[in-house]
Amino acid sequence: MVERHHAEDPLARLRERTPVLGMLREAGAEDRPFEGATIGVSSHLEPKTGIFIETLRDAGAEVLCTPNDPGSVHGDVVSHLDAQSGITAFAAPEMSEADLDRAHRDLLDREPDLLATDGAELLAKCHADPELSTESVVGCAEQTTSGVSRARAMADDGVLAVPVFAVNHTPMKHWFDNVHGTGESALTNVMLSTNTVLAGRTVVVAGYGYVGRGVATKARALGADTVVTEVDSRKAIRAHMDGHRVMPMDEAAEIGELFVTATGNCHVIRERHVRKMNDGAMLCNVGHRDIEVAIGELADAATDVRDVEEGITRYSLADGRTIDLLAEGKMVNLTGPYSQGHPAAVMDTTFAAMVLALRELVETDGLDAGVHPLPERLDEDVARLKLDALGVEIDSLTDLQQRYLDAWQRDEIV
Ligand code: NAI
């Protein structure tokens, strides 16, 4: 008989599935690029983030970590991290928004040298709060769409005082994490938490950026009839050419059975939409904040609001129809009852890019304050390491091919 042990280390199983981080961890333990530096990490405190944090610590950093969302804290991960030397967690499983604010301040009071953020919360806070300062901060690596757009807004306002690497905007992040990671993990959570099959259902996806495209593509692969709403004509035509029906939310509201918002914007689903929806329609969000569904308006439209199951809040309308909001409108793949975030294989490359971005910040002198693209060579390094880990080999250009591509008088080459 096989003897089963409960893992004492909640990260052990996932370490096997994050080989690129494993390689960077070994390299970092040898050359210790963060020796003497304090890194403030604000992200979903779940196992993959735990491995990222350990990787930074093994590379010499003192790591301070805090969640970016009170709903995505895994207590076992926090205890495991906090018990280790070189890591301090400012987090607890049942945090209120006020606790989270306090935790962010406590972390920033420790004057970190580097920030690694998901949503730019720590970055915005140390710039906005007169009691805090950006003085200690050498730079920041930001891993999500909303955080990069926030950092850009700070730069446009002329307040951004530190360099920020837009890790989200690398091909390796966009193509894999946003599309596949969020696409699969969001729908998995919806299906598990609602016990629903998506085949044959009408799924409305709001926003056809990287995330929305992933959600819509995966939903259709599962047999759903997919509808996309957009505000950008090029994204809308892309959705149309990819085979989804495209229409305004006012029309989609009448036919959808599951609505998934993925815009990074606010108030995409409003009271007037809800009033048109089918009985039993389900609403969820994968965008960064719980403001894509106008929850206050939903409550105003309802005669009764109650939690019917973990992660499902039912809004009853006066005519007897009910609408279910999943995960309180927060990111359903990260805060729903079955949430495990993105698969480890996906976060492996995202966090690897974050590690390389932080290394670049300490190793490069004179980076201006502002939002910078992550140098392409670093993104290529991540891809190469991932291919190595997967055992996948690719071709390389011959000298002749390179000369041909570099030339404009190509007939002289071949
Ligand atoms: P993106 O910028 O590529 O796409 C957003 C799309 O939404 C754009 O095409 C935009 O035109 C559209 N949009 C904006 N307002 C709209 C409206 N009112 N109605 C319909 N469409 C509208 O961004 P990306 O990378 O797809 O990310 C979307 C959101 O998902 C962001 O908030 C990002 O931070 C978040 N995100 C969440 C993850 C998760 O694990 N849940 C992982 C990665 C990103």
Q: 37-41, 84-88, 225-229, 331-335 — which is least confidently predicted?
A: 331-335
- Taking the C-alpha atoms of residue 114 and residue 124, their distance in angstroms, rounded to an integer, is 14
Amino acid at 105: R
- Same domain? For 169 and 279 the reply is no
- Same domain? For 352 and 311 the reply is no
Would 409 be classed as within a structural domain?
Answer: no
DSSP string spanning 228-295?
A: EE-SSHHHHHHHHHTT-EE--HHHHHHH-SEEEE-SSSS-SB-HHHHTTSPTTEEEEE-SSSTTSB-H
Nearest residue by C-alpha to atom 12 in ligand 1: 207
pLDDT tens, position by position, 318-329: 999 999 999 999
pLDDT tens, position by position, 38-67: 999 999 999 999 999 999 999 999 999 999
In the predicted structure, residue 229 carries a pLDDT above the cut 70 = yes
pLDDT tens, position by position, 108-140: 999 999 999 999 999 999 999 999 999 999 999
CA quadruple 347, 353, 359, 362: dihedral, nearest 10 = -110
CATH of residue 192's domain is 3.40.50.720
Would 362 be classed as within a structural domain?
Answer: yes
Distance 262 CA to ligand 1 centre (A): 4
- Same domain? For 361 and 303 the reply is no
pLDDT tens, position by position, 191-213: 999 999 999 999 999 999 999 99
In the predicted structure, residue 24 carries a pLDDT above the cut 80 = yes
Would 59 be classed as within a structural domain?
Answer: yes
Answer for the pair 80, 10: CB distance below 8 angstroms, yes or no.
Answer: yes
- Same domain? For 132 and 273 the reply is no
Confidence of residue 142 (pLDDT cuts 50, 70, 90): very high
- Same domain? For 165 and 230 the reply is no
Would 278 be classed as within a structural domain?
Answer: yes
Residue 173, ligand 1, Cβ within 6 A? no
Confidence of residue 4 (pLDDT cuts 50, 70, 90): low
Q: Tell me what pLDDT residue 71 has.
A: 78
- Same domain? For 78 and 222 the reply is no
CATH of residue 85's domain is 3.40.50.1480
Pocket test for ligand 1, best of 49, 173, 211 (most atoms within 8 A of CB): 211
Q: Tell me what pLDDT residue 110 has.
A: 97
Distance 177 CA to ligand 1 centre (A): 13
Would 53 be classed as within a structural domain?
Answer: yes
pLDDT tens, position by position, 356-402: 999 999 999 889 999 999 999 999 999 999 999 999 999 999 999 99
- Same domain? For 159 and 295 the reply is no
- Same domain? For 205 and 230 the reply is yes
In the predicted structure, residue 412 carries a pLDDT above the cut 70 = yes
Would 158 be classed as within a structural domain?
Answer: yes
* Domain of residue 107, residue span: 12-173+341-390
Longest CA pairwise span in the chain (Å): 77
User: Rounded mean pLDDT of 288-309?
Assistant: 96
Confidence of residue 7 (pLDDT cuts 50, 70, 90): low
**Residue found by looking up tokens 């891993």 in the block:** 143
> Please, what's the b/e burial string for 326-364 (b: 16 or more CB within 10 A of its CB; e: otherwise)?
bbbbbbbbbbbeebbbbbbbbbbbbbbbbbbbbbbbbee
Would 330 be classed as within a structural domain?
Answer: yes
Residue 235, ligand 1, Cβ within 6 A? yes
Query: Total domain count for the chain?
Result: 2
Q: Residue 234 is encoded by which pair of tokens? A: 């090029």
- Taking the C-alpha atoms of residue 227 and residue 217, their distance in angstroms, rounded to an integer, is 11
- Same domain? For 129 and 271 the reply is no
- Same domain? For 191 and 259 the reply is yes
Would 352 be classed as within a structural domain?
Answer: yes
Beta bridge partners of 302: 317
- Chain centroid offset of residue 95 CA: 20
Pocket test for ligand 1, best of 172, 263, 333 (most atoms within 8 A of CB): 263
- Same domain? For 196 and 269 the reply is yes
Exposed/middle/buried for residue 296 (C-beta within 10 Å: 0-12, 13-18, 19+): exposed
Distances (CA, A) of 324 to 55, 275, 282, 302: 40, 13, 5, 11
In the predicted structure, residue 1 carries a pLDDT above the cut 60 = no
- Same domain? For 324 and 193 the reply is yes
In the predicted structure, residue 94 carries a pLDDT above the cut 90 = no
Amino acid at 249: M
In the predicted structure, residue 6 carries a pLDDT above the cut 70 = no
- Per the annotation, where are the binding residues for NAD(+)? 209-214, 230, 333, 342
Confidence of residue 8 (pLDDT cuts 50, 70, 90): confident
Beta bridge partners of 313: 307, 325
The phi, psi pair for 216, rounded to 5°, reads -65, -40
| DSSP element (H, E) containing 24 | helix 19-31
